[in-house]
Amino acid sequence: MKHFILTTTIGALSLAGVAFAHAEVSNPVVKDRMELMDTIRGSFATLGGMAQGKVDFDAEKASAAQATLVEAAAKIPAAFEPNEMDPESKALPAIWDNWDDFVIHATALEGAADALDPSSLDTIKAGVGPIGASCGGCHQAYRTK
């Protein structure tokens, strides 16, 4: 019981940390795109967690996470198109210098997310690799470390 309370507290604290980080962002355009990335992170964490055995496999939850991921990926170009900055942002100016390439990375994520088959644990395991690679590919080029 004690352990449960401790884990829950730590969980709540880290969630609060995320909300606080966004509260520091004054530019609403930047805040929105960070929140979109958080949605992407959350749905990918569900699928990745199942693949790693950290989250129980549930085809319905997997399907919902996949749908959220595909939908959010489709919103990346519109969310990043305005060339806006904020001191809290990790976006690199290269995004707007190489806009077409940035959109290709967004489309790659959407395609990889769409290709995942959420109906079984095996197909989820096969599908998360290409999704993770597309996150990394874009962050490598367009986000500060």
Query: What are the residues binding ligand HEC (CB under 6 A)?
Result: 21, 30, 33-34, 37-38, 40-41, 44, 76, 89-91, 95, 102, 105-106, 109, 131, 134-135, 138-139, 142-143
Per-residue three-class SS string for 14-67: HHHHHHHHHHCCCCHHHHHHHHHHHHHHHHHHHHHHHHCCCCCCCHHHHHHHHH
Minimal distance in Å, beta carbon 105 to ligand HEC? Answer: 4
Our CB check for ligand HEC shows the closer of 6 and 85 to be: 85
Minimal distance in Å, beta carbon 10 to ligand HEC? Answer: 19
Q: Which two tokens stand for residue 65?
A: 């996470």
Minimal distance in Å, beta carbon 40 to ligand HEC? Answer: 5
Helices and strands of the chain, counted as H and E runs: 6, 0
